[in-house]
Each structure stands twice: as C-alpha cells, then as structure tokens.
Amino acid sequence: MAYKYCVAVNSGKGFINARERMEFYLSGHPGDVWVVEDNLYGNAWIERNNGVVKTKENAQAIVDAEITAAQSAYDALLEEQKLTRPRPESVVLT
C-alpha cells in the first residue's frame, strides 16, 4: 500500500466522514500530520481538507518535534502528576 503524508488541521465535524474512513487508510499523528492511503479517495480527502502534502521525512520530522516537545513538558511535571498520564511515545510513521 502506498501512502501520502500531509498536514491538515482537524476542522471538526466533517473533517473525516464515515464513508471516507472506510475507503482509504488514514492515521492521525501529532503536529496535524496524517498518513493517507494514496488512492483516489485518499487524495480527494487531502484536497478537500486543504492538506499540505509532505515527504515522509518531513512529516516524520514534524511528528518528532511535537513529541519531543510533549515529552519535555511531561518530564517537567511533578512525579505525582506523572502518575495521572502517560509519557508521550515516539511514533514511526508507516
């Protein structure tokens, strides 16, 4: 399966509809990065949501930066506060 990588801001209702969810692979990641199956429907979804297509490397860099920032914020928490939430995990894009 071939993928495209894009940055698209979740605009809420209608950003992804139920039919689209069935018609192509899609996964959301930190930094508004979406991995989208490179097919007719996936590309139409990217266009409809004004997605900005990135290379896989650029998309991964955006995700990494977001997670690094989130991990730094987590590490700065009090130990007791850390008990209430997980430390953000690294993500390797498909």
Partner 1 sequence: MSTYKGIKGFKVQSFAADPVPAVAGWASGGNMSLGRRELGAANQAPGHSAGLVFGGYKTPPTGPTNATEEYNGTSWTSGGNMTTSRQRLAGAGTQTAGLAFGGGYPPTNHAETEEYDGSSWTNGGNLGTARGRLGGSGIQTAGLAFGGSTVAEPPSKTNATEEYDGSSWTAGGALSVPRFMLGGGGTQTAGIAFGGNTNPPPGGTNSTEEYGGTSWTSGGNLGTARYLLSGAGSQDAAIAIGGNDGSETAACELYDGSSWSTTASLSSAASYAAASGSTNEQALNMGGNAYKTATEEFSNFAEPNVFRNIGDTFYNTTEKKFKFVAEGPASWATGGSLSDARYGLWASFGLQTAAVACGGADSPNEFFATTEEYDGSSWTSGGNIPTALGSGGSLGTLTAGFGAGAYRFSPAAKIANSYEYDGSSWTSGGSLSTTRINSAGFGTQTAGAISGGTNPGNTVIGNTEEYDGSSFSSGGSLATSVRNGGSAGTQTSGIVFGGSTGSVSAVTQTYDGSSFSSNPASMNTARTSLKSGLNGTQTSTVAFGGNTGSQSNATEDWDGTSWTTSTALPATVQSHGGAGTGAAALSFGGTSPDTAATYEYTFAGTAAIETVTTS
Q: Which of 5, 7, 8, 18 binds partner 1 (CB under 8 A)?
A: 18
CB of 63 vs partner 1, minimal distance in Å: 10
Q: Which of 7, 54, 66, 93 binds partner 1 (CB under 8 A)?
A: 66
| Using rule CB under 8 A, residue 17 touches partner 1 | yes
Q: Which of 58, 61, 74, 93 binds partner 1 (CB under 8 A)?
A: 74
58 to 61, 80, 87, 93: CA distances (angstroms): 5, 36, 24, 11
- What are the residues facing 35 on neighbouring strands? 5, 27
What distance in Å separates the CA atoms of residue 86 and residue 1, rounded to the nearest whole number? 31
Burial of 16 (0-12, 13-18, 19+ CB in 10 A): middle
| Using rule CB under 8 A, residue 38 touches partner 1 | yes
What distance in Å separates the CA atoms of residue 23 and residue 88, rounded to the nearest whole number? 29
Interacting residue ranges for partner 1, rule: CB under 8 A: 2, 4, 10-23, 26-30, 38-44, 47, 53, 66-67, 70, 73-74, 76-77, 80-81, 83-89
